[in-house]
Amino acid sequence: MSFLSDLYQEVILDHNRRPRNFGELNDANGMAEGFNPLCGDKVKVYLKTENGVIQDVTFQGAGCAISTASASIMTEAMKGKTLDEARATFAKFHDMVTGKLEFDPDDEELQRLEVFHRLSEYPVRVKCATLVWHALMAALEDQAQAISTE
Protein backbone atom coordinates (compact mmCIF):
# COMPACT_ATOMS: atom_id res chain seq x y z
CA MET A 1 0.00 0.00 0.00
CA SER A 2 2.50 2.58 -1.11
CA PHE A 3 -0.30 5.08 -1.58
CA LEU A 4 -0.75 5.30 2.16
CA SER A 5 2.79 6.48 2.59
CA ASP A 6 2.33 8.84 -0.37
CA LEU A 7 -0.84 10.48 0.73
CA TYR A 8 -0.80 10.03 4.46
CA GLN A 9 2.82 10.92 5.11
CA GLU A 10 3.95 11.35 8.65
CA VAL A 11 4.16 15.12 8.17
CA ILE A 12 0.49 15.25 7.20
CA LEU A 13 -0.56 13.04 10.07
CA ASP A 14 1.45 15.15 12.46
CA HIS A 15 -0.13 18.39 11.29
CA ASN A 16 -3.53 16.69 11.48
CA ARG A 17 -2.91 15.60 15.07
CA ARG A 18 -1.42 18.90 16.18
CA PRO A 19 -2.52 21.60 13.77
CA ARG A 20 -0.38 24.75 13.98
CA ASN A 21 -1.94 28.20 14.18
CA PHE A 22 -5.34 26.76 14.99
CA GLY A 23 -7.99 29.03 16.43
CA GLU A 24 -9.44 32.47 16.12
CA LEU A 25 -7.15 35.47 15.70
CA ASN A 26 -8.30 38.30 17.92
CA ASP A 27 -6.74 41.22 16.10
CA ALA A 28 -7.39 39.90 12.61
CA ASN A 29 -8.07 42.44 9.90
CA GLY A 30 -9.12 39.91 7.30
CA MET A 31 -11.32 36.83 7.51
CA ALA A 32 -12.93 34.49 5.04
CA GLU A 33 -14.76 31.20 5.14
CA GLY A 34 -14.36 28.27 2.79
CA PHE A 35 -17.09 25.70 2.31
CA ASN A 36 -16.92 22.41 0.49
CA PRO A 37 -20.51 21.45 -0.34
CA LEU A 38 -19.37 17.97 -1.33
CA CYS A 39 -18.38 16.95 2.17
CA GLY A 40 -19.87 19.76 4.23
CA ASP A 41 -16.47 20.84 5.52
CA LYS A 42 -16.09 24.43 6.62
CA VAL A 43 -12.90 26.30 7.31
CA LYS A 44 -12.30 29.88 8.48
CA VAL A 45 -9.07 31.75 7.84
CA TYR A 46 -8.06 34.75 9.97
CA LEU A 47 -5.45 37.14 8.73
CA LYS A 48 -3.50 40.01 10.18
CA THR A 49 -1.49 42.15 7.81
CA GLU A 50 0.58 45.24 8.33
CA ASN A 51 2.10 47.35 5.58
CA GLY A 52 1.28 44.72 3.00
CA VAL A 53 2.95 41.91 4.95
CA ILE A 54 1.21 38.93 6.57
CA GLN A 55 1.97 39.20 10.27
CA ASP A 56 -0.18 36.35 11.42
CA VAL A 57 -2.61 33.84 9.99
CA THR A 58 -4.72 31.21 11.73
CA PHE A 59 -7.50 28.81 10.81
CA GLN A 60 -10.47 27.14 12.42
CA GLY A 61 -12.74 24.30 11.38
CA ALA A 62 -13.02 20.55 11.18
CA GLY A 63 -12.00 18.71 8.08
CA CYS A 64 -10.24 15.61 6.86
CA ALA A 65 -6.57 15.00 7.49
CA ILE A 66 -5.60 16.40 4.09
CA SER A 67 -7.49 19.65 4.61
CA THR A 68 -6.35 20.11 8.21
CA ALA A 69 -2.72 19.47 7.32
CA SER A 70 -2.97 21.73 4.29
CA ALA A 71 -4.35 24.52 6.46
CA SER A 72 -1.73 24.03 9.12
CA ILE A 73 1.16 23.96 6.65
CA MET A 74 -0.25 26.92 4.77
CA THR A 75 -0.38 29.10 7.86
CA GLU A 76 3.25 28.28 8.59
CA ALA A 77 4.28 29.06 5.03
CA MET A 78 2.45 32.36 4.85
CA LYS A 79 3.75 34.24 7.82
CA GLY A 80 6.06 37.07 6.79
CA LYS A 81 5.04 37.03 3.14
CA THR A 82 3.92 40.09 1.24
CA LEU A 83 0.45 39.85 -0.28
CA ASP A 84 1.92 39.39 -3.75
CA GLU A 85 4.22 36.65 -2.54
CA ALA A 86 1.26 34.94 -0.91
CA ARG A 87 -0.68 35.01 -4.16
CA ALA A 88 2.30 33.64 -6.06
CA THR A 89 2.68 30.79 -3.58
CA PHE A 90 -1.00 29.98 -3.87
CA ALA A 91 -0.66 29.82 -7.66
CA LYS A 92 2.31 27.46 -7.38
CA PHE A 93 0.61 25.24 -4.82
CA HIS A 94 -2.54 25.12 -6.88
CA ASP A 95 -0.65 24.19 -10.04
CA MET A 96 1.30 21.52 -8.20
CA VAL A 97 -1.70 19.72 -6.66
CA THR A 98 -3.67 19.88 -9.88
CA GLY A 99 -0.75 18.39 -11.77
CA LYS A 100 -0.02 21.44 -13.91
CA LEU A 101 3.35 22.01 -12.30
CA GLU A 102 6.05 19.37 -11.86
CA PHE A 103 7.44 19.21 -8.38
CA ASP A 104 10.85 20.88 -8.46
CA PRO A 105 12.96 19.69 -5.53
CA ASP A 106 15.20 22.73 -5.91
CA ASP A 107 12.33 25.15 -5.46
CA GLU A 108 12.59 26.15 -1.82
CA GLU A 109 9.04 27.28 -1.62
CA LEU A 110 7.69 24.01 -2.98
CA GLN A 111 9.87 22.05 -0.58
CA ARG A 112 7.72 23.17 2.32
CA LEU A 113 4.66 21.99 0.44
CA GLU A 114 6.25 18.83 -0.89
CA VAL A 115 4.01 16.51 1.11
CA PHE A 116 1.16 17.42 -1.23
CA HIS A 117 2.96 16.88 -4.49
CA ARG A 118 1.42 13.45 -5.16
CA LEU A 119 -2.06 14.72 -4.47
CA SER A 120 -2.70 15.28 -8.16
CA GLU A 121 -2.98 11.49 -8.40
CA TYR A 122 -6.04 11.61 -6.12
CA PRO A 123 -8.21 14.12 -7.95
CA VAL A 124 -11.20 13.78 -5.63
CA ARG A 125 -9.01 14.87 -2.74
CA VAL A 126 -7.46 17.93 -4.39
CA LYS A 127 -10.29 20.17 -3.20
CA CYS A 128 -9.66 19.09 0.38
CA ALA A 129 -6.21 20.63 0.19
CA THR A 130 -7.07 23.74 -1.81
CA LEU A 131 -10.17 24.81 0.13
CA VAL A 132 -8.25 26.61 2.85
CA TRP A 133 -6.00 28.28 0.29
CA HIS A 134 -9.01 29.64 -1.52
CA ALA A 135 -10.27 30.93 1.81
CA LEU A 136 -6.92 32.62 2.38
CA MET A 137 -7.14 34.31 -1.00
CA ALA A 138 -10.63 35.50 -0.12
CA ALA A 139 -9.36 36.77 3.24
CA LEU A 140 -6.65 38.68 1.39
CA GLU A 141 -9.34 40.27 -0.75
CA ASP A 142 -11.42 40.96 2.34
CA GLN A 143 -8.39 42.68 3.83
CA ALA A 144 -7.54 44.53 0.63
CA GLN A 145 -11.10 45.81 0.46
CA ALA A 146 -10.99 46.88 4.08
CA ILE A 147 -7.93 48.95 3.23
CA SER A 148 -9.37 50.43 0.09
CA THR A 149 -12.48 51.63 1.87
CA GLU A 150 -10.50 53.31 4.61
Partner 1 sequence: MGNAMQEYLPEQDKLSGPRAFDVESVRRDFPILAERVHGKPLIYLDNAATTQKPRSVIESISRFYESQNSNVHRGVHYLSQTATEAFEGSRRKIQRFLNARSSSEIIFVRGATEAINLVAQSYGRDRVGPGDEILISAMEHHSNIVPWQILCQQTGASLKVIPMNDDGELLLDEFDKLVGPKTRLLSVIYVSNSLGTVNLVSEMIELAHSRGVPVMLDAAQAMPHLSVDVQKLDVDFLALSGHKVFGPTGIGVLFGKADLLESMSPYQGGGDMISSVTFEKTTYNTLPYKFEAGTPNIAGAIGLGVAVDYVSEIGFDQIEAYEGELLSYATSALSEIPEVKIIGNAKEKASVVSFALEGIHPHDIGTILDQAGVAIRTGHHCAQPVMAFYGVPATARASLAFYNTAWEIDALVGAIHSVLKVFR
Position 4 contacts partner 1 (CB under 8 A): yes
Q: How far is the CB of 105 from partner 1 (least distance, A)?
A: 25
Beta bridge partners of 44: 33, 60
Q: How far is the CB of 27 from partner 1 (least distance, A)?
A: 29
User: Judged by CB under 8 A, does residue 3 bind partner 1?
Assistant: yes
Question: Is 66 or 113 the residue whose CB approaches partner 1 more closely?
Answer: 66
Q: What angle do CA 42, 47, 51 make, to 5 degrees?
A: 160
- CB 42 to partner 1: min, Å: 8
CB 115 within 8 A of CB 11: yes
| Residue 3 beta carbon to partner 1: minimum distance, rounded to whole angstroms | 5
Kindly tell me the number of DSSP H helices and DSSP E strands found in the chain: 6, 3
Residue 40 Cα distances to 35, 102, 131, angstroms = 7, 31, 12
* Interacting residues with partner 1 (CB under 8 A): 1, 3-4, 7-8, 13, 16, 38-42, 62-67, 122, 124-125, 128
